[in-house]
A and B are shown apart, each in its own frame.
Chain A
Amino acid sequence: MENIKQKKMSVILTNLDKIFNWARSNSLWPLTFGTSCCAIEMMMATGSAHYDIARFGAEVVRVSPRQADVLIVAGTIVKRMVKPLKMLFDQMMEPKYVIATGACTISGGPFIYNSYTTIRGVDKVIPVDVYVPGCPPRPEALFWGILVLQKMIKQNLLFSTKKIKPVLAALPEGINIKDIHKEMIHILNSKRYV
């Protein structure tokens, strides 16, 4: 301490977990895993120059699950896909994070009724950290999901540690679906839609 005072150096006090979490959150490497139309949108987000995912340190898409940190489940998961998905998830190194994008992976989406194969929600198979709703979600929504995941990693609020389930597009308090219907009818009647 005397030495530092003499040389007028600055010190940051932290603990090891915080440094690790900061480093992990800024280098999320996604796995190349996609099963249907959400995967196309995910490829647009991760692969194209227009939606630059490198801004969030997540541009290194890994082919091997052993090198990947985040599993973006993009697309419908059917009964036969459960086994490979579980195998990929088990092969990933700890700490690992899961983002579920699209209606199908959250709840089964359009296949929720009268389907003999579709899994109603990927969280029945593997633990999910962030849900990104949409059919399919826009790349901006996926980025929002990645930002939420980064925030969660920094605060150490993950499913594997705290068992909490965040939903990205949750309705604000005091607003229910009837209010939204009313608003939509009002907008449609007033011809202000595009």
Chain B
Amino acid sequence: MNIKEYIIKEYAPYLESTQEDKLNKINIKKTNMVTFMQHMNTDKALVFDILLDHTAIDHVDNNNMEVIYYLYSTKYNHNLMLSIMLPRTNPKVHTVSNIWAISEWLEREVYDFFGILYINHKDLRRIFLEDDWIGFPLRKDYKDYFMLEK
């Protein structure tokens, strides 16, 4: 059985009602996402033991932000993309650093560039930019005095 079909069948209460057919991506709800991620890590049919990448997309036109988790299983050699939609003003999501330790730094990077706040994160500060930087430069509406507009 396809893993996407399996997850949609087994974990229906955690998922959003609308799922895209073409993309290999699953939209999940913001509430209880930590327990869902815990299931992804411990489910014997899935065993996603590595968080390969974590990033965000800024949808200015729809006024929301999308947080992406890219998981990989070394046991079964399959991968999965999860996405959570957040509001653009004051975007907050729970950290998954107690499940995958690498996400602590990945979340710091996403916070640095997109300004997404992580609840229960141990050490949420900027990782690439200077500490006194104002604004989040990968947001589509970011502007500062240093940029030359074309």
Contact = CB atoms under 8 A, between A and B. Distances in A.
Interface in A113-146: 113-117, 120
Contacts, number: 24
Contacts of A113: 147-150
Contacts of B137: 116-117
B144 interface: yes
B142 interface: yes
B150 A116 contact: no
B149 A114 contact: yes
B148 A112 contact: yes
Q: In terms of DSSP, what is the predominant structure of the interface of chain A?
A: loop
B130, B142, B148 — most chain A CB neighbours (10 Å): B148
B76 interface: no
A173 to B, nearest CB: 30
B109 to A, nearest CB: 15
B136 to A, nearest CB: 10
Interface in B59-79: none
Nearest to A120: B148
State which size class the interface on B falls in: 10 to 19
Contacts of B128: 80
B149 A116 contact: no
B113 to A, nearest CB: 10
Interface in B24-46: none
Interface in B108-150: 128-130, 137, 142, 144, 146-150
Contacts of B150: 113-114
A67 B142 CA distance: 43
Contacts of A79: 130, 146
B148 A114 contact: yes
Contacts of A117: 137, 146
Q: Which 4 A-B pairs have the closest CB atoms?
A: A113-B150, A116-B137, A113-B148, A114-B147
20 contacts: A79-B130, A79-B146, A80-B128, A80-B129, A112-B148, A113-B147, A113-B148, A113-B149, A113-B150, A114-B147, A114-B149, A115-B147, A115-B148, A116-B137, A116-B142, A116-B144, A116-B146, A116-B147, A117-B137, A120-B148
Given A79-B130, A80-B130, A120-B148, 17 more contacts: A80-B128, A80-B129, A112-B148, A113-B147, A113-B149, A113-B150, A114-B147, A114-B149, A115-B147, A115-B148, A116-B137, A116-B142, A116-B144, A116-B146, A116-B147, A117-B137, A117-B146
